């Protein structure tokens, strides 16, 4: 085998241009597939990171009516009671749950103001002590809520950066008053995400999905919620899974426990009930859509491999014709048919394998060029590289077999006579 590989490399080097042109179809096909697969993988990873975040693994279980969030402005639903403390402890004790927080919220709430400035379209959240660490928020100025804020019903508030910018554009918010539905709350701290994760926005759908708190958010202790809204208002839950893979399982488990607080949750499609937002499933659906589109490109690129394989067969048939006397002489000296077959088959495999390696290198370079030129995320797939090289070797075996058999079956007397 080693001698056959040496002879194959020698023959390829002797006819460098012809060999390169023969490999060109394989090189183009492999390079295209590597570039496409790298783009697919990079896009899928970006989708997963965008939806799930930088390792937050959070799932929201919220009160919904059909496919939409339930708007509490229409009143507390008759069939839902607040989640009990035993239910909360049951949720936090689940193996798939790292932590869980229960909160009440008004999206696009009105009546948020500070002097002449107002927060139009902002959100108000009544949070428990688990909320900030669960969702990955940290207080970067001032202080967080403390136990006495909850037990003494202190009217205090935390603002995110957007709310602070809009309500107090030229002032330090700490210690100042923000009014919520006419009730004064003292700002005690400012919060921000604990990581630097920023989703990639490429469409209006991405904007709607990833920028839900663009208008600013005000956080108050959940004990103060009845001061501005209803008593015994049902809470939503945000839970953090121990791993990304556990998100779907955790969401279903938490949803099942919270549905114990809902009467008639198995009724019509418009029934008000708790539902988990399965971000992992959303990510997979978007990935499947991207994959179905890009798989067509892979099939098109595979045509280049087919053309390359035909080119290998053609050049090997030419090589057999050119080396007829050599084959006849070897067989006259006692070379068996299987030795001749192995020699030419090895030459075809070495030829396509070199094309595969060059194609892989070209594909990686092409993927990086596409990434820089189009801003498309790429991620090099090691399994795709290995499979591409193995596939190029298989092309050599498949398309080099017929010429090799033809060489092995030559009659030595006829071969020596041929000019």
Beta strand 137-142 with 156-160 is unpaired
Residues 395 and 321 in one domain: yes
Same domain, 126 and 160: yes
Indicate if the pLDDT at residue 262 is higher than 80.
yes
Q: Do 59 and 277 meet the contact criterion of CB atoms below 8 Å apart?
A: yes
Assign 18 a pLDDT band (cuts: 50, 70, 90). Answer: confident
Of 49-63, 122-136, 170-184, which gets the smallest average pLDDT? 49-63
What's the whole-model pTM score?
A: 0.62
| 405 and 269 both lie in a single domain | no
CA pseudo-torsion sign 335, 341, 342, 343: positive
Which stretch, 94-108, 183-197, 348-362, has highest mean pLDDT?
A: 94-108
Residues 140 and 216 in one domain: yes
Per the structure, the count of domains in the chain is 2
pLDDT at 211 over 70: no
Domain end call among 277, 294, 324: 277
Burial state string for 190-199 with b = 16 or more CB within 10 A and e = fewer than 16: bbebeeeeeb
- Determine the structural domain holding residue 66 and report its residue range: 56-277
Residue among 89, 105, 100 at smallest CA distance from 57: 100
Q: What is the mean pLDDT of residues 66-92?
A: 83
pLDDT at 146: 95
Higher pLDDT, 48 or 419: 48
Looking at residue 389, its pLDDT comes to 80
| Collapsed DSSP state (helix, strand, coil) of residue 285 | helix
Question: And the tokens for 364?
Answer: 């990686």
The answer to whether residues 269 and 291 belong to one domain is no
87 and 116 assigned to the same domain: yes
Of 85-94, 279-288, 333-342, 371-380, which gets the smallest average pLDDT?
A: 279-288
**Which residues, 6+ apart, have CB-to-CB distance to 310 below 8 Å?**
25, 399
Last residue of a domain, one of 277, 294, 315: 277
């Amino acid at each position: 085998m080693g001698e056959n590989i040496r002879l194959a490399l020698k023959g390829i080097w002797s006819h460098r241009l012809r060999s390169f042109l023969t490999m060109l179809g394989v090189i183009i096909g492999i390079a295209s597939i590597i570039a496409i697969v790298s783009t697919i993988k990079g896009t899928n990873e970006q989708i997963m990171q965008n939806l799930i975040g930088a390792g937050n693994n959070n799932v929201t279980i919220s009160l919904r009516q059909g496919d939409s969030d339930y708007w509490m402005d229409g009143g507390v639903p008759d069939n839902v009671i607040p989640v009990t403390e035993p239910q909360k402890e049951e949720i936090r004790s689940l193996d798939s749950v790292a932590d869980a927080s229960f909160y009440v919220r008004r999206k696009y709430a009105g009546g948020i103001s500070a002097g002449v400035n107002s927060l139009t379209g902002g959100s108000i959240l009544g949070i428990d002590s688990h909320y900030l660490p669960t969702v990955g928020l940290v207080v970067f100025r001032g202080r967080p809520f403390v136990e006495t804020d909850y037990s003494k019903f202190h009217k205090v508030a935390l603002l995110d950066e957007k709310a602070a910018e809009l309500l107090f554009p030229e002032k330090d918010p700490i210690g100042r008053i923000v009014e919520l539905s006419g009730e004064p709350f003292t700002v005690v701290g400012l919060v921000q995400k604990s990581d630097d994760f920023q989703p990639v926005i490429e469409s209006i759908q991405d904007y709607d999905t990833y920028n839900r708190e663009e208008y600013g958010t005000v956080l108050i202790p959940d004990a103060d919620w009845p001061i501005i809204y209803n008593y015994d208002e049902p809470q939503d839950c945000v839970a953090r899974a121990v791993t990304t893979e556990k998100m779907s399982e955790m969401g279903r488990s938490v949803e099942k426990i919270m549905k114990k607080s809902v009467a008639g949750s198995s009724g019509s499609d418009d029934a008000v009930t708790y539902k988990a937002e399965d971000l992992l499933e959303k990510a997979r659906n978007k990935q499947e859509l991207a994959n179905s589109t890009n798989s067509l490109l892979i099939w098109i690129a595979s045509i280049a491999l087919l053309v390359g394989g035909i080119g290998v067969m053609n050049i090997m048939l030419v090589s057999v014709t050119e080396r007829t006397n050599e084959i006849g002489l070897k067989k006259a000296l006692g070379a068996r048919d299987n030795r001749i077959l192995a020699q030419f088959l090895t030459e075809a495999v070495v030829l396509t394998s070199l094309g595969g390696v060059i194609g892989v290198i070209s594909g990686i370079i092409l993927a990086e060029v596409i990434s820089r030129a189009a801003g498309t995320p790429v991620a090099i797939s090691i399994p795709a590289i290995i499979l591409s090289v193995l596939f190029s070797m298989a092309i050599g075996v498949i398309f080099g077999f017929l010429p090799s058999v033809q060489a092995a079956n030559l009659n030595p007397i006829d071969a020596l006579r041929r000019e």
